[in-house]
Amino acid sequence: MSETAPPIQIAQQPIDKEVSDELFRVLPESWRGIRMEARRIVQGPGSESYRIELVSTENKPGLAFPSDELQDAIRKLFLLHKRYSTNLSLARYILEEGPNGWRLVSEFEYDEAN
């Protein structure tokens, strides 16, 4: 019997693709990897924002800025998780060039349920 992915994972796949595409697009030319951390900031009942930080995975100099499209993808990600009540608090994506090409790794942190 084959297992199918949970609905949230299926719904998240196109968002992960958007994030990956945008990270690649904002990646400075001298960097061979970029780490993005997006944190949910609760500002009050029903009000939240997202802080996005981009850094080189190799501590290379330079700056990367989140594009409007990357910010939109992160907003979609957190709204998706809100719909599924996962309490997602932090999303970390790492895009790195390796010997076999580029790879994307994602990690997620969740707040404890209230």
* Torsion sign (Cα): 36, 37, 42, 46: positive
The pTM of this model reads 0.90
Identify any residues that bridge with 97 across adjacent strands, giving them in sequence order. Answer: 102
Strand intervals (E) in the chain: 33-44, 47-56, 88-98, 101-110
pLDDT, residue 4, reads 79
- Alpha-carbon distances, residue 95 vs 8, 65, 68 (angstroms): 22, 15, 19
Identify any residues that bridge with 48 across adjacent strands, giving them in sequence order. Answer: 42
pLDDT, residue 113, reads 61
Contacting residues for 86 by C-beta, under 8 A, at least 6 apart:
8, 110
Specify whether domain 7-110 bears CATH 3.30.500: yes
pLDDT, residue 1, reads 47
Q: What is the pLDDT of residues 70-114, one digit of tens each?
A: 999 999 999 999 999 999 999 999 999 999 999 999 999 999 865
Amino acid at residue number 7: P
Q: Find where tokens 């932090």 sit.
A: 90
Domain boundaries, the chain: 7-110
Q: What is the pLDDT of residues 45-60, one digit of tens each?
A: 878 899 999 999 999 9
